């Protein structure tokens, strides 16, 4: 940047700042400074130009920063803090330096930004003094004592470290106390409930797997104020001797009562012990596929019998060294310590899958089950029990995504994908809350004259940073996270309002189609919502078509008929989307009250090269028309395809050859243009 611009912009941007800003040349002299330098020195800005730190801020200041200046002139961006305790200063300064290269890449100047941090240093010193006093007081107590702020231990005595299984109080600093204690009554980690501990009601607790000891404790808390902030003084007494039936407590804490296997707590504890001993291991995370159907259809008592049978099968199959846990619901986990070879986990997994696939006798009939397994190794896939379980769980869900009833080995790419899915879920939720979704429209044309005759509504998401995100990315996330119904309602409300407006203006001929997801269609509340929205927007139901996939209407025949009839009763039209790629069971065409059939693009793309494809499309068209349904061909990309479909008596055509999906205002402009031509 030219010197004139630096002289203009730096004061303009920084003169109101309480911090020091300056541009220095290679001799470390000031080229330009902000107003703070003038206030400190009592000199005018033009008087400071050409001077340096030695004259204005003192030799000690300059000597402290000179090495950093030299690094900045070598191209580094430097940040640091210096303490000045000479006769002239008794303070600390935080600073940052950035090089300013010219067009040729040479560094002629650097920018200095510094701030006085002495008050922060005084506060830190005061805190250190108070901490020393508290530590001295703590060491005089015979009970375990620690101070927590929020849930974080900021001070503890040796007795507390001994009770919690740590070698020194220093190891406790920064730990979450709530994660170190388990409530003896609920058998759950205290976690955030640590803030609810009161001074008048001691609580019986036991140490969690994060501690290196197992001990019963009596915990008392008192509210205190620390540097103006609320905190708690926690006192702990060893209560182990009063736990007369320690063996029974162990059984309750670590064992699942249904199967007799380790529960999640006990399994995690055993896993942590093996990791602390640096024992190589393979861990398998197993989830039964579609187990919910057994509980829902046959009852939880039958589901419990299946879980018990699986635990017995696993114990018979696996070696004695294996550690088996029933973590929750239909999830099991297995540790294979010191595997004999690299494929041990894979071979055992194949045996487990075959074992689960064997029929189960359930209430007078047998049923075959399947399972998905995720696998991790230690060392390699995580350094603690939590990470290993999380990664194994991630691999298990990947096994489900790949088709279920299989093993998938964890890889870091899965974590990246999982983080991306989580990011998409969080950002999509924000978009739904702040009206960040858009509804675009792709017109359909009449196959006789290729004039716009209806459209299909399509949801689009423009992220404020990433730009437009493909529906292929965010629609599956919305379906998995349960946001698809909210998303569908947003689209429905926008379309009803827009169609009502277009019809009043005489712009849109034909119907506008709205896609219904299987989750939306499966919810009986859809009918009530549509009816209320119809009344509030005043839309004519004859102007709207609801599109469903074959899989949505075929998943539950009776429910589908009831839902379709209810939608038809309100006056809306019904369409089957992507016909020919799903079940393609012709019987439902006669049973269901359908108005429209959409031929999938997969049939259209080869229409010019495969003669049999033309015959197939012609038969689909004739079949639909014989059942009084209109026919829409989607994915039309060439004039030849459009002409051929028109000759085959297709009713409507949709595709890039005519129109791509476009924002509402762009389509509205096209409709207005066409309207004027007709006038």
Question: Is 330 found in the same domain as 353?
Answer: yes
Distance of CA 360 to CAs 148, 278, 292, 352, 356, Å?
A: 52, 39, 15, 14, 9
Question: The CATH number of the domain where 269 resides is what?
Answer: 3.30.70.270
Cα–Cα distances in angstroms (integers) from residue 259 to residues 96, 255, 310, 317, in the given order? 61, 8, 9, 16
Output the 3-class SS for 331-369: EEEEEEECCCCCCHHHHHHHHHHHHHHCCEEECCEEECC
Profile the chain (679 residues) by mean pLDDT over runs of 10 residues: 73 83 90 87 86 84 88 90 65 84 86 76 63 66 84 88 90 89 78 69 84 87 82 85 57 77 89 88 89 72 84 89 88 91 89 87 70 90 87 86 84 75 84 90 94 94 88 87 89 95 92 91 88 94 91 70 91 87 65 89 83 88 91 93 92 94 93 74
Q: How many helices (H) and strands (E) does the chain have?
A: 27, 29
State whether 528 and 467 are in the same domain.
Answer: yes
Domain hosting residue 364, numbered range: 253-410
pLDDT, position 99: 92
Considering the domain architecture, whether residues 173 and 111 belong to the same structural domain is answered as: no
Neighbour tally for 571: CB within 10 Å: 13
Q: How many angstroms separate the CA atoms of 236 and 177, rounded?
A: 12
Same domain, 373 and 482: no
The pLDDT of residue 555 is 62
Q: For the full predicted model, state whether its pTM sits above 0.85.
A: no
So what's the pLDDT on residue 441?
A: 96
Q: Report whether the peptide linkage leading into residue 646 is cis, meaning its omega lies within 30 degrees of zero.
A: no
C-alpha 654/C-alpha 578 separation (Å) is 13
In a domain, 247, yes or no: no
On whether residue 473 sits in a domain, the answer given is yes
The per-residue pLDDT for range 613-662, each reduced to its tens digit, is 888 889 889 988 999 999 999 999 999 999 999 999 999 999 999 999 99
8 Å CB contact between 477 and 501: no
Question: What per-residue confidence (pLDDT) applies to 87?
Answer: 58
Would 248 be classed as within a structural domain?
no
Q: Does residue 460 sit in the same domain as residue 487?
A: yes
**Structure confidence at residue 256 (pLDDT):** 83
In the three-class reduction of DSSP (H, G, I as helix; E, B as strand; rest coil), residue 28 is classed as: coil
User: Are 398 and 276 in a shared domain?
Assistant: yes
Looking at the fold, whether 332 and 188 belong to one and the same domain comes out as no
C-alpha closest to that of 489 among 538, 437, 442 = 437
pLDDT of residue 121: 60
DSSP H/E element including 36: helix 35-41
Q: What is the DSSP string of 377-396?
A: EETTS-SSHHHHHHHHHHHH
Task: Tell whether 150 and 286 lie within a shared domain.
Answer: no
The answer to whether residue 332 sits within a structural domain is yes
Query: What total of structural domains would you count in the chain?
Result: 4
Residue where one domain finishes, among candidates 122, 152, 184: 122
pLDDT at 598: 92
SS3 assignment, position 410:
coil
Q: For residues 373 and 378, give the distance between their C-alpha atoms in angstroms, rounded to a whole number.
A: 17
Q: What CATH number has the domain bearing residue 534?
A: 3.20.20.450
pLDDT, residue 127, reads 62
* CATH number of the structural domain spanning residue 202: 3.30.450.20
Residues of the chain by 3-state class (helix, strand, coil), percent to 5: 45, 25, 30
């Amino acid at each position: 940047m030219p010197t004139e611009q630096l002289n203009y912009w730096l004061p303009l941007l920084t003169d109101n700042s309480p911090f020091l800003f300056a541009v220095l040349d290679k001799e470390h002299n000031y080229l330009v400074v902000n107003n703070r330098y003038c206030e400190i020195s009592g000199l005018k800005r033009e008087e400071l130009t050409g001077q340096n730190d030695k004259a204005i801020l003192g030799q000690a200041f300059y000597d402290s920063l000179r090495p950093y200046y030299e690094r900045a002139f070598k191209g580094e961006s430097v940040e640091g803090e210096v303490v000045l305790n000479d006769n002239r200063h008794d303070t600390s300064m935080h600073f940052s330096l950035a090089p300013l290269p010219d067009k040729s890449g040479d560094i002629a100047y650097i920018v200095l930004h510094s701030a006085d941090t002495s008050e922060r240093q005084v506060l830190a010193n005061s805190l250190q003094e108070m901490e020393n006093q508290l530590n001295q007081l703590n060491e005089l107590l015979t009970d375990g004592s620690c101070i927590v702020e929020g849930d974080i231990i900021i001070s503890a005595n040796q007795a507390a470290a001994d009770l919690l299984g740590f070698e020194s109080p220093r190891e406790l600093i920064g730990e979450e106390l709530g994660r170190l204690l388990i409530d003896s009554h609920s058998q759950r980690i205290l976690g955030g409930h640590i803030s609810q501990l009161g001074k008048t009601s001691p609580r019986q607790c036991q140490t969690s797997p994060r501690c290196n000891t197992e001990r019963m404790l009596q915990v008392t808390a008192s509210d205190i104020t620390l540097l103006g902030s609320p905190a708690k003084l926690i006192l702990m007494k060893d209560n182990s001797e009063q736990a007369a039936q320690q063996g029974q407590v162990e059984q309750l804490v670590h064992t699942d009562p249904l199967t007799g296997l380790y529960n999640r707590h006990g399994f995690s504890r055993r896993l942590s012990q093996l990791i602390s001993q640096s024992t190589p291991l393979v861990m398998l995370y197993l989830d039964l596929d579609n187990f919910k159907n057994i509980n829902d259809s046959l009852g939880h008592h039958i589901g419990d019998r299946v879980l018990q049978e699986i635990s017995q099968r696993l114990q018979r199959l696996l070696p004695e060294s294996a550690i088996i846990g029933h973590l929750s619901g239909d999830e099991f986990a297995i540790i294979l310590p010191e595997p004999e070879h690299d494929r041990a986990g894979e071979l055992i997994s194949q045996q487990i899958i075959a074992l689960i696939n064997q029929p189960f006798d359930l209430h007078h009939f047998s049923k075959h089950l399947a399972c998905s397994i995720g696998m991790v190794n230690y060392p390699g896939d995580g350094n603690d029990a939590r990470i290993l379980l999380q990664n194994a769980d991630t691999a298990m869900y990947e096994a489900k995504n790949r088709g279920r009833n299989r093993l998938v080995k964890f890889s870091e790419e899965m974590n990246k994908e999982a983080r991306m899915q989580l990011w998409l879920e969080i950002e999509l939720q924000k978009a739904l809350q702040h009206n960040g979704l858009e509804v675009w429209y792709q017109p359909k044309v009449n196959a006789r004259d290729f004039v716009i005759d209806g459209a299909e509504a399509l949801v689009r998401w423009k992220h404020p940073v990433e730009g437009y995100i493909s529906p292929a990315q965010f629609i599956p996330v919305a379906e998995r996270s349960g946001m698809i119904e909210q998303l569908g309602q947003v689209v429905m409300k926008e379309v009803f309002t827009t169609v009502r407006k277009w019809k009043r203006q005489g712009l849109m001929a034909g119907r506008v189609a709205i896609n219904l997801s299987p989750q939306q269609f499966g919810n009986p509340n859809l009918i009530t919502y549509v009816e209320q929205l119809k009344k509030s927007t005043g839309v004519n139901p004859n102007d709207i078509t609801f599109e469903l996939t074959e899989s949505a209407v075929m998943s539950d025949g009776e429910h589908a008929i009831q839902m379709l009839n209810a939608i038809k009763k309100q006056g809306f039209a019904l369409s089957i989307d992507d016909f020919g790629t799903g079940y393609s069971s012709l019987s439902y065409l006669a049973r269901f009250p359908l108005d429209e059939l959409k031929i999938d693009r997969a049939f259209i793309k080869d229409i010019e090269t495969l003669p049999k494809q033309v015959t197939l499309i012609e038969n689909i068209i004739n079949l639909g028309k014989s059942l009084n349904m209109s026919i829409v061909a989607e994915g039309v990309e060439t004039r030849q395809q459009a002409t051929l479909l028109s000759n085959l008596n297709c009713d409507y055509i949709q595709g890039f050859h005519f129109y791509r999906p476009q924002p509402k205002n762009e389509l509205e402009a096209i409709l207005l243009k066409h309207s004027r031509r007709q006038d």
